[in-house]
Amino acid sequence: MRGVRWRRAVSQAGRSAAVWGVSTLTMLVLAGILPDFRLQSADGASATTIATTAAVGAGVFGVLSALAWPLLVRLLLLVPALVLGLLVFFLNGSLLLLALRLNPSGQSEAAPETAVIVAAVMSAVASATGGALAVRDDDAYRRRLYRLADRRRRGGAACPVTPGTVFLQLDGVGHDVLAAAVRKGLMPTVAGWLGSAPQQGRGQGRAGSGAPRASHRLTRWHTDWSSQTGASQLGILHGSNHDVPAFRWYEKDTGEVMVCNRPTSAAELQRRAVERTGDGGLLSADGASRGNLFSGGADEQALVLSIATRRRSRETRSRSGYFAYFSDPANAVRTALSFVAEVGRESGQSTRARLRHERPRVGRGGLYPLVRAFATVVERDVVVAAVMGDMLAGRTAVYADLVAYDEVAHHSGPLGRDTEQVLGRLDRALALIENVAEHAPRPYRIVVLSDHGQSPGETFRARYGLTLGDLVRAGCGLAVPRKAERTHSGAEARAAVRAALRRPVEESGERHRPAGRRSEPIVLASGNLGLISFPDVPHRMSKEEIDARHPALLTTLANHPGIGFLLVRSEEHGGVVLGAYGAEIPLDQLDRTPGPLAAFGPGAADAVRRTHSFPHTADIMVNSFHDPADGEVLAFEEQIGSHGGLGGAQARPFLLSPLALSAPVEDDEELIGAEHVHRVLRRWLRESHGPQVPLETAPEERAA
């Protein structure tokens, strides 16, 4: 035993000396390259003196970084994330300047801006050197992991021996996209879990007899009509997404527009879900929530939107997860450099798309390169580090969201080289988490899932020259932008208004407006789902009321080639689906006569009927056109990869689960809706942890 400890000490000392030597050499090279950084006095110095100065400076800088950096990062938790990324460089430079001042030779100096560059390069080189030397040293790797685990445990109780569960959400990755990436070899970690040839069955893929090494099964599930993160994650984590008709919608009783990724809205939606179910959420038993919209009832929360508005404390700090990652200056520098590289990558990819005149295409300028880099680099690194810390601390259940693919696919499209690169990097994150699981104090089962997919297609505005809001205004006889007026759709809408009113509408004068003081309609978009509300009417308007007020509106919308169907309340039938050529199908007849819903496949009728029952469903729900042949939809937002409504791959996410857990559904069943996924995940937690995980609330209790 004493010999083993001696070998470990010698190995650690050797690595430290190697890192110190490389850092010294790096400082010497930089001193020769950068004019404002020198390691000698103005009168010159011997080579020995310069080398000694560099060695002392590198050593002091390393010690200061190790001792001061964790404290500095903890003090900076109040700083916004993007600002913190910039401060990393300046703080590192300040530490280097201090190291030079403490150098006994007194001969070294650097301009402040040069110190920033030198410190960044030295941190990156030292990190790379240490990692390269320890890559094959399992003992060293294990010791680093356990040191992190000790910090996370902070003297807590002994870790249970039952398996923990990690739920990793790959935001926006559809079932078919994942399967294609595995076939192309883009995701070797996932391919290894599935075996060499996972079979694809009805709603579920299982490893066949030819893949004995498979450890996971791949299951397809179907979203609700609102195929977006807010509805799906609320249902998955809290067991209810009742009354979430879209990503954004107008509530007449409060006069507020709810937006799922707005902190105040997320907090309110979580409160409503907990009130409806009477349960804290999926993660109530020793859980951790990382990078999510909602907490799931977890004790440990970081980067969770629904707690961002609470009074700041150690437990509710939404950005507290940054400390676990940025407490290591090498991590901070590496992420910052990767951030810059990602900005450059996006600029190159968008330029290539413009030069090749790729279609469809949306604008990718402004702040988008920074937003993309934050989602694909900073958020990924911080969330993965938080998950690693949770596993090493022995947490019972962890749920984390990685948003990288979803962000890129919105602007680059869900299929193509840009998004394939992102999938490859996500697979490497999964491999890292799997590696850490081998060193955790308890066994872990890794479940990977998505909240929705994405459907390709150009935007509604790109195809028709006007937005959904323009079309609604034209159908109401209201003024629209002159450019939209001249489009074919705008001209047809004006003609429909004239015909419905049986009177001419002056081209250059005042258009007809019904008598009385009436506010203009509110038109909101959630991917290829549109919502139209009339705020001056306190209740949900019926088809009959809308026709009396705006005789041409519903006809204009239903007959537009870019619109698939409408949902409106009906005084005669309760609710009806409207389509082109006068199609009007009552909701209770959709199973026999799907009408406009036929192109959207089985399950569309149930999804529409469920949304119709929500208290805050809009006066008019509009779903875009969908082409079943190529899966395309038309987004009402500026996105060429979209989700939020019905049509195509956006409604077909995946669930990748260990074979050690029970099958999500029986062979003759399908997994439909986020609430159903919640019940499956809760069942799995009970299989692993027993009675400490409460049973899911019964459906009849949730509806009460």
Question: Could you give all domains of the chain from N- to C-terminal order, each with its CATH number?
Answer: 2-136 (no CATH), 164-455+649-699 (3.40.720.10), 460-639 (no CATH)
The C-alpha angle 524, 528, 533, rounded to 5 degrees, equals 25
Count of CB atoms situated within 10 Å of the CB of 34: 16
Q: What is the pLDDT of residue 124?
A: 58
Amino acid, single-letter form, for residue 228: Q
- Residue 429 confidence (pLDDT) above 90: yes
The whole-angstrom separation of Cα 295 and Cα 308 is: 11
151-186 residue pLDDT tens: 555 555 567 788 999 999 999 999 999 999 999 999
Q: Mean pLDDT for the chain? A: 80
Name 447's bridge partners. Answer: 167
The whole-angstrom separation of Cα 227 and Cα 42 is: 67
Residue 508's pLDDT band (boundaries 50, 70, 90)? very low
Bigger pLDDT: 293 vs 135: 293
Q: In this structure, what token pair is assigned to residue 489?
A: 């759709």
% of the chain residues with pLDDT over 90: 51
Q: What is the pLDDT of residue 140?
A: 47
What pTM does this model have? Answer: 0.78
Q: What is the pLDDT of residue 88?
A: 53
Q: In this structure, what token pair is assigned to residue 504?
A: 């001419």
Q: What is the pLDDT of residue 627?
A: 95
130-140 residue pLDDT tens: 544 443 444 44
Q: What is the pLDDT of residue 355?
A: 87
Q: What is the pLDDT of residue 208?
A: 44
Lowest mean pLDDT segment, chosen from 72-76, 259-263, 430-434, 584-588: 72-76
Bigger pLDDT: 349 vs 501: 349
Q: Are 364 and 271 in contact (CB under 8 A)?
A: no
Q: What is the pLDDT of residue 12?
A: 62
Q: What's the burial of 401, exposed, middle or buried (CB within 10 Å: 0-12/13-18/19+)?
A: buried
- Residue 571 confidence (pLDDT) above 70: yes
State the virtual CA torsion across 487, 490, 491, 494 in degrees, nearest 10.
-170
Handedness of CA 323, 327, 331, 335 (dihedral sign): positive
Q: In this structure, what token pair is assigned to residue 47?
A: 């080579």
Q: What is the pLDDT of residue 503?
A: 47
- Residue 210 confidence (pLDDT) above 60: no
- Residue 374 confidence (pLDDT) above 50: yes
Cα distances (angstroms) measured from residue 140 to each of 387, 412, 439, 610 = 21, 41, 12, 55
Q: Are 530 and 562 in contact (CB under 8 A)?
A: no
Angle, helices 2-33/112-134, rounded to nearest 10 degrees: 150
- Residue 393 confidence (pLDDT) above 90: no
Type and span of the H or E element at 621:
strand 620-624
Averaged pLDDT for residues 610-621: 98
Averaged pLDDT for residues 45-52: 65
Residue 192's pLDDT band (boundaries 50, 70, 90)? very high
70-114 residue pLDDT tens: 555 555 544 454 445 555 555 555 655 556 555 555 555 556 556
% of the chain residues with pLDDT over 70: 64
